[in-house]
Structure 1
Amino acid sequence: MSPAPAPEQASAEEEKFNPRDFPQKLRDAQHRAAELYAELHALQARLPWSREPHDGWPEVTDRGREQAGREASPGWDPADAEAYDKLWEELREATAAVQTHGWWKTCRDHGVQGADLVAVRQALKTANGAVPLARDDVGTAA
């Protein structure tokens, strides 16, 4: 049986682990999820507000409170509904790949947990290679 590492050695090993040094496959999965979210958002922006035809409702003002109305909606074209459903399913699969990636277990094994783990998960959303467009890219693209 080998002796346990001295406290100085254990803390030095812990310092070497960087939970924000995300593996490429995890960054790729997050990148894909961000792309799918953007595609879904763009599709939703051009679709009518109701998937099914709907008559809408008038704006109402009652005792000083206003409730916005909605114009009638023709509903979605079947091709748009199919595209929406496909994108939504792909987005669910992509986000599941990010959420269940083995990196999160590795982080927990190295003592990253609670609020710290949440912060690391949030950091992935802006990590290099994990987002379709970085801040520096915006200036370059403009």
Structure 2
Amino acid sequence: MAEFDFPDDLRDAQLRLHRARAEYQALCRTLPWSVEPAEGWTAVEGQYSGYRRDFPATPGYTDEQKTEVARLRALMLELSTEVTTHPYWATVSGGDVVDARMELKHHPDVVRTDEPTPGG
């Protein structure tokens, strides 16, 4: 695999994207199964094979949770756009773009952390 010389601002944007995604995933693990309040239910035997079958009643997301989900989704969209539309990509030959993108995602300066950035 070729080595690419990524500009600092592109590496920084990719790192912020990894952190935002980790924060979003951590938040999602704490949320109720439904955004809106819903009664619980149990799947019929054989239905949804291999998936969760019991869903307890849920109060749905709080307004604060909805706001935080929306903030993190907007941040991930913004950072994804910043990374994918960065002028650097125009300097990479067509056949190397996929390799360069994969290298950026796994670059030592931007490796994903499961530690969310405090305060986003």
Do Structure 1 and Structure 2 share a fold, with TM-score over 0.5?
yes
**TM-score, with normalisation over the residues of structure 1?**
0.69
Question: Which residue of structure 1 lines up, in the alignment, with residue 25 of structure 2?
Answer: 41
> In the TM superposition, what is the alpha-carbon distance from 1:121 to its structure 2 partner?
0.5
Residue 22 of structure 1 pairs with residue 6 of structure 2: yes
- Runs of 4+ in structure 1 over 4 Å off: none
> In the TM superposition, what is the alpha-carbon distance from 1:19 to its structure 2 partner?
5.9
**TM-score, with normalisation over the residues of structure 2?**
0.81
Question: 1:104, 1:19 → 2: CA distance?
Answer: 14
Say what the alpha-carbon RMSD is for the aligned residues: 1.7
Measured at CA, do residues 42 and 82 of structure 1 come closer, stay the same or move farther in structure 2, by a change above 3 Å?
A: same
Question: 2:84, 2:3 → 1: CA distance?
Answer: 15
The structure with the larger Rg is: 1
Give the percent of matched residue pairs that are identical in Structure 1 and Structure 2. 36
Aligned residues: 108
Question: 2:68, 2:37 → 1: CA distance?
Answer: 18
Structure 1 unaligned regions, length at least 5 = 1-17, 134-142
Structure 2 unaligned regions, length at least 5 = 114-120
**Higher relative contact order, structure no. (Cα contacts within 8 Å, ≥ 6 residues apart):** 2
Higher helix content, 1 or 2: 1
Question: 1:80, 1:104 → 2: CA distance?
Answer: 36
SS at match of 2:37: coil
Question: Which residue of structure 2 lines up, in the alignment, with residue 97 of structure 1?
Answer: 82
SS at match of 2:36: coil
What letter matches 1:113 in structure 2? G
- Of residues 53, 59, 64 in structure 2, which corresponds to 1:74? 59
